[in-house]
Structure 1
Amino acid sequence: MSIQNKGKIIIIGAGIAGLSSAFYLVNDGWQVEVLEQNDLGNSCSYGNAGMIVPSHFTPLAAPGVVTQGIRWMFDSKSPFYVKPTLASISWGLKFLKHSNQAHVDRSAANLRDLHLASSKLFNQWATLDGFDFELTQKGILMLFKTEKLGHEEAELAHTARGLGLDVDVLDQQATQALEPNAELDVLGAVHYKCDGHLYPQKLMANLIQYLQNKGVVIHTRHTVSEIEVANHQVKALVANDKKFAADKFVMTGGSWLPQLAKKAGLRVSLMPGKGYSFMHTPVDDSRGLIHSALLLEARVAVTPMNGQIRFGGTMELAPFNNKVNINRVEGIVRAVPDYLPDFKMDIPKVKNIWYGYRPCSPDGLPYLGATKKLDNLIIAGGTGMMGLSLGPIVGHTVAEIANEQKISVNISQYSPDRFQ
């Protein structure tokens, strides 16, 4: 029996949020078109660490982040930098307001539920014909070298257990036992067994092929130049001098969400957080990693994928630019052997360094829901460093909103209108 056609819906953005939304919408009977300003293959959904992280129940806006960030700003190789601009000052004042324990406590359970629901959906995707994206649900190791950070992580692990997450605190010997093929120079680790990882390039390729097979039309190199609004509704989009009309619209757009929203008369507070990654091939195939890991003091992500290791990190909150800050990349390279002595690397050539922009909201929470100002527009973005992990549940929720169904997760904190 064929699914009844529910109408036409246009999605702006072919990152993980946009493609996940298309996945659930087309399967619910919508005619779906996607407008993407670039080619398929260079969004933040491709070069990230590929981590699925129920462990990330603490939003970016949290106690201590501001103080640490100020210290890091004066180190050219540090993992964090904010370029002072009018936009960053406005964003920063909102960030300061939310960097408190009460905000963390209010947010934790909802973020946990989002990630756990998304992890289950990843498991479902992995069973589909044509889907093979190296999904590994063995957990993530939070590696630490100092007693101070070990104590802080143990306290966070205690909170995680209180939230029902599967987590162990390990000493050096137990940590090393989980990685028998690589030497670890750490005091210990927290093992979030609820976490996992995958290979983003394969996932995105799987989604694109699936959607095209389902009849979803993806228009690449189509930048939305105008959004036509009338009677509290979006009527059409203009891209490449062509008009695209639909019954409903979904606005993703990653770090370009504020510019898109402005075209519709909306204000979304967001800063692009530039991050870098590169791939490394171990000299000896037998000296690889089994788990993905975070090198905590250095703020470096490490993920085995496609027979290689992806290293990534840094957060530059600054206007868009096409420059690779080699000092930040050097900071990643130099930090790795402090934890993983087997991985002594040269600084990669610029052509081998990937960078992308994480869409960071000032309270560290997503924008997910319908906007009250326009009846037929759904906004999905602002997921920061959690974008890939939350992709499936964001798409699933977008479809529930479009179908006017009961929402299966609590999105009350994620209103896209909250900073209007």
Structure 2
Amino acid sequence: MDFNTLCIHGNSEKYDTTGAVSVPIFQSATFAHPAVGESTGYDYSRQQNPTREHLEKIMVKLEGGFDALAFSTGMAAIGAVMELFSPGDHIIASDDLYGGSHRLFHQISMKNGISFDFVNTSDISMIESHIQPNTKGVFIETPTNPMMQVTDIKAVAELTKRHNLILIVDNTFLTPYFQKPIKLGADIVVHSGTKYLGGHNDTLAGFVVVNDEKISDRLRFIYKTTGACLSPFDSWLMIRGIKTLPIRMDKQQENAMKLANWLGDQQKVKTVYYIGLPTHPGYEISQRQGSGFGAMISFEVDSEKTVRDILEKVSLIQYAESLGGVETLITYPMLQTHGDIPKAEREAKGINECLLRLSVGIESAQDLIDDLARVIKGE
């Protein structure tokens, strides 16, 4: 079945007898037992709920995995994955990460006895050189947030399999529409469903998709024990959002390409980071391992004054955290998404006072360009 069709009909199971086209919202915390020792298959919504199950089965189809779990947020999803590891374990992770992941690893996971090495995972030799006897996993974002570094998932998967490591890929930026890490060899895929999968900036959600029954069983136990499950109503919002994922992402990518090219011609713009540009160092890998480039752009301007002018004077583009929605959002990573990272560390990665991140929406590309041109060019 085609991906576009799967987004709408990826789970054909019926949960009621009314003929409702939209899956019902089973807004129930608990479910009655038919008799002693019998169950309808649903007992308590922390463990499973029909609306959430419907969503999870769609995500399994979209990512091509064995099982999917829907969480209350993307960080709850990553937090649950970290519970697969034990004190004394070592993980290698991308050195350019979403600030929330950086905060979790440094402030929570390390406290719990897990050690990390953060490396440029686009360089496979860097990953291999940091493997230790106690290394248990590799965690990558590709493209990374916010510097848009690209990692060859298949090459990393071959490396992790040789060393019996778990490969975890954050696929938030590209979604399974443009990139399928499990088919490239990943063991676990994580998402902030808040972003492109939901697509409307109106709900928080997270996903873990796994390709192994044993990992699924362990995560299901962690899931029901720690309880960060997605609510029935938010599950329904995610189901609704996923139905339009392909057409949204096609338009967003089209707009992003136009904006990236336009930004590259502006005198006040020093560098444009967009994986869809042939000049991007990860362009060929992106072409090989995905079917699209997404709609995330980071760009560095000439001064902090230009940054402030853009953030304070754009009118159509909104200065806000998050990404992936139908509305175009602009973010100042050093103050927002990466504000908790020490200055020297973030600046070493290129996250400085002149870097902005743009999540391109589905508006008219020309209107978005006009909004930026009015500020950058003083038009």
Q: Determine which structure has the larger strand proportion and give its number.
A: 1
TM-score between the two structures when normalised by the length of structure 2: 0.28
TM-score between the two structures when normalised by the length of structure 1: 0.26
Q: Determine which structure has the larger helix proportion and give its number.
A: 2
Q: Which has the higher contact order (CA 8 A, sep 6+)?
A: 1
